[in-house]
Amino acid sequence: MSSPRESGTLGTYQRYKLGQAQFQRWLKQTSDKLRPGSAQAPTGPVHLQNPTPKKDSNQAKKGSQPKGNPKTASAIHWSQLESMAQTVIDHSEPEQIPRSAISILRDVVFLRKKSAHFFSKAAARSEGETLKQKNIAHEHIIQVLESILNRFDAFLSKARPSSSPSGPNEDGQLGMDDINNMFELLHVEESHEGENDEREEISDAEVTATKRPKKSQKKGGKKPKQKKQPKEQRVQKRTPGSEDNSWVDTFKWVEEEEDEDDFDYYMLIYCFFQDFNSIRTYVSDRWTEYFYDKSTVSLDTLAVVTNAACEMFHEMEYELSRALKEEHPQFAEYEFMLEMLFFNYGLDHVDYSGESELSESERDYKILAEADWLGFFAYSNIVYILENVPPGKVPLFPPSAMKQLKYGLLEFEDFRDFTRNVVFDFFPEICFIKAMKTNEQLPMVVPAQDELTLDFEDIFRVRTYSSATVFDLSLYIDIRYILEDQVTDAFDLAQTTATKTKAILEEQLPNIRGPWDLKKECRFRIGEVERAILKDFLEEDKARRYEEKGISGLLDFRCRLVLNNIGYRFINESSVVLAAAFAYNAALRIDETRDLHWPQMDEFLRIYGKDRILQGPLPPELTPMDLLKRFIDRNFSTANYPFISPPKSLEALHERYAWENGHSRQNMAYLKDIIRDKFDVKAVSMLSNPTGNLPPGPNDLSDPPDAKNAIVKREDPKVGDTQIGAKEAFQSARVSPVELLEILDETMTSLLDNQLSVNLFQVHTEAVQLLQKLLGEFSSEVERDAPFLLDENTRVDKFPSLLPIVYRSMEDGNAVEIGKRIGKVVGEFCSNLE
């Protein structure tokens, strides 16, 4: 399970409830202001984008108004909506209506209609009258909302008669742009009205009002089956945080509260599977793009995006269970939802008419599509494994028993066999890893272990499964079907990157003379690469472990993160790279017609910002001597402090994928940090230690705590690091799950093309070479002012002291001639690089 929206996203159901609440709030506020005779009614034209008139100077101060009953203040009866809408239409112009409000209403009506499809079937099957009466009420509410929508569409068409109303978003996915626009609009209105202080006092009462009282099982409808609880109860993988989500639905429709509860159950389950398939479709599409064109997306990006999707499945399941736990906890069980949707009520997007006219093959494909939409094939294989693998046993299959996978367009039976073969090729190794952890040969979380393998370990520990595990496996089966024989690419890439990483760290280890923890971590990472990637800790035939698992992409990404993190910490220990950058750019200004090109430094300056590294812009009139003076004035030759730092998103990904404590899964707070970095929302950083944690001890792969009975929990986010000033300051940055994957995809692509593409160790090595050549050129000046620099035992971090000597030579002698000498050395250096 997950903390409530640890990732900073809003699911379809949350967006539906928030959108409905926002529209109702806007409609009530606006109609109150425009209603004739109202104390707030404006005497002149009003702009509904900010309809609140200015306060009179004699008006009571904010917070001084008497506070009424919170529930009454925040409650709206659905029968009031039509009169409120007519008030707004009668006393405003079409141009004054915010389009986001109407767009949200359109999507709310669309989603309500789709969810009502399930509810109406439940009512029709019910033997009692309760559900039938409630279904009639729901249909009437939909008619009311649709009538309001039609009125607004007709009213808005007066402004632009030629334009027809836009339809609902695809699959009823409420757009976050509309929700955020309405959030900003309502936030402005409330700040004008002085309601900010009142909201804080009312919120507790509203939360109490929105809590649903525990009720007995309702009469009518099919009584849900009670599932027998396993002996060992599953432990939450993420500890629920303290985040308050009551803001999602602050309005309640009075006298309809209990009716809405029943309706919401069907809406919850519908949105749950809708979000699953939206995420699944996005991830599968990206893997398909990779299959046809490797240049469109990297394997590292796909691995991280896929793993994040599996993390979000846990969030979705947690929220579903939390919403249903008081009255109908069994509704949140995958088996119950599968029976309800697949066997009892059917799927809303499936046309069941004319089934008798379908051929047997067409009927099979239709059933296959329905079952696959619900993750049935993954579920059936999990149940089969649990029934046939005894607790504590590791199944072994001879090579002859492993069936060759069949790809391409598959018939119903062939696809069922394909899923079975994929799972049977996958799960024995998970049993092996779980056994090693039980015997304390491995930590509970091995380096870069993905969510799918962790979830599969858990089902063998607790002998049951979660919806998230079913979704994980469904996504994995999709990827195997898409990639076909290209599934080994990730393993080959991980091996190549690991070999390169190990070689670079071994080469640079003698040059690291800074803090003890940096050198210690470098040694640890060399051993980790050797143990976890180049040598398999499971079996001699290491190719089998990696060739078909998503973990290969995560291991490759881990190598890149480690190399980059140690590299930027290493070059920040001295100003060698900084001095070389100043010398290189000074040479470029001596003769701008000369084609000097230092590829690694050019990329370094482009990525980290030339103006930032060189302490300001480089106007045409800036001379080489002026540039060197910048270096000296800022005391860069002797000061050792970081002059570059990675972006917040890179820090967050390093914290998530380059480290684990070995005992628990990482929390999902890194996703929220990536959203903040994307939208530039000012908030406290979640990473208190951007340079990484201290490396574990040498026994990190052989000393897990209590692995026999432990289950891999989710690590709690650091409370002190996740504080933000105001709740509203971050709500506007919330995104839908698919939008989050798009942001993560974009962020990963940018980082791999920029920060992670530069070998910082190579930049440092070449910078040392350039400064050594400059020392040779200015040896006479150095001998006079700083002879210690010519000693062969002098540490390279002293080399930047050369630039002040060169600058003084320019002051005392011929600056142009000194500049030409710098240009000559830099020119020869760049030529040798080619």
What does the DSSP assignment read for 782-808?
A: HHHH-GGGGSTT--GGGGGGHHHHHHH
Does the pLDDT of residue 203 top 80, yes or no? Answer: no
* Percent of the chain topping pLDDT 70: 71
Six-digit token string for 2: 């997950």
- What would the 3-class secondary structure string for 471-526 be? HHHHHHHHHHHHHHHHHHHHHHHHHHHHHHHHHHHHHHHHHCCCCHHHHHHHHHHH
Does the pLDDT of residue 764 top 60, yes or no? Answer: yes
Q: Give the span between the Cα atoms of 154 and 770, in whole angstroms.
A: 73
Contact 450, 554 (CB under 8 A): yes
Residue 75, φ and ψ in degrees, nearest 5? -100, 145
> What residues have CB less than 8 Å from 817, skipping those under 6 apart?
none
DSSP strands (E only) in 669-712 = none
What's the mean pLDDT when you consider all of the chain? 76
Residue with the two structure tokens 């480690």: 562
Q: What is the mean pLDDT of residues 715-733?
A: 42
Q: Which residue did the predictor score with more confidence, 97 or 224?
A: 97
Question: What per-residue confidence (pLDDT) applies to 67?
Answer: 39
The string over 786-824, giving b where at least 16 C-beta atoms fall within 10 Å of a residue's C-beta and e elsewhere, is beebeeeeeebbbbbbbbbbbbebbeeeebeebbebbbe
Question: What per-residue confidence (pLDDT) applies to 341?
Answer: 83
SS3 content of the chain, % helix, strand, coil (to 5): 65, 0, 35
Does the pLDDT of residue 751 top 70, yes or no? Answer: yes
Q: Could you count the other beta carbons within 10 Å of the beta carbon of residue 210?
A: 16
Q: Give the span between the Cα atoms of 116 and 834, in whole angstroms.
A: 69
DSSP category for residue 723: -
Alpha carbons within 13 A on the beta-carbon side of 353 = 1
605-651 pLDDT, tens digit each: 999 999 999 999 999 899 999 999 999 998 888 777 788 889 999 99
Does the pLDDT of residue 713 top 70, yes or no? Answer: no
Q: What is the mean pLDDT of residues 264-282?
A: 87
Question: What per-residue confidence (pLDDT) applies to 185?
Answer: 52
Q: Which residue did the predictor score with more confidence, 755 or 661?
A: 755
Question: What per-residue confidence (pLDDT) applies to 52?
Answer: 43
Q: Which residue did the predictor score with more confidence, 286 or 644?
A: 286
Q: Which residue did the predictor score with more confidence, 554 or 354?
A: 554
Does the pLDDT of residue 324 top 90, yes or no? Answer: no
Question: What per-residue confidence (pLDDT) applies to 255?
Answer: 36
The string over 136-165, giving b where at least 16 C-beta atoms fall within 10 Å of a residue's C-beta and e elsewhere, is eebbebbebbbebbeebeebbeeeeeeeee
Report which residue type is found at 693.
N
766-788 pLDDT, tens digit each: 999 999 999 999 999 999 999 99
Does the pLDDT of residue 49 top 80, yes or no? Answer: no
Q: Give the span between the Cα atoms of 414 and 279, in whole angstroms.
A: 25
Q: What is the mean pLDDT of residues 32-45?
A: 63
Six-digit token string for 249: 């639905």
Q: Could you count the other beta carbons within 10 Å of the beta carbon of residue 459?
A: 22
111-125 pLDDT, tens digit each: 777 767 666 766 776
Does the pLDDT of residue 232 top 80, yes or no? Answer: no
Q: Which residue did the predictor score with more confidence, 386 or 706?
A: 386
What does R_g of the chain's alpha carbons equal in angstroms? 32
Residue 735, φ and ψ in degrees, nearest 5? -135, 170
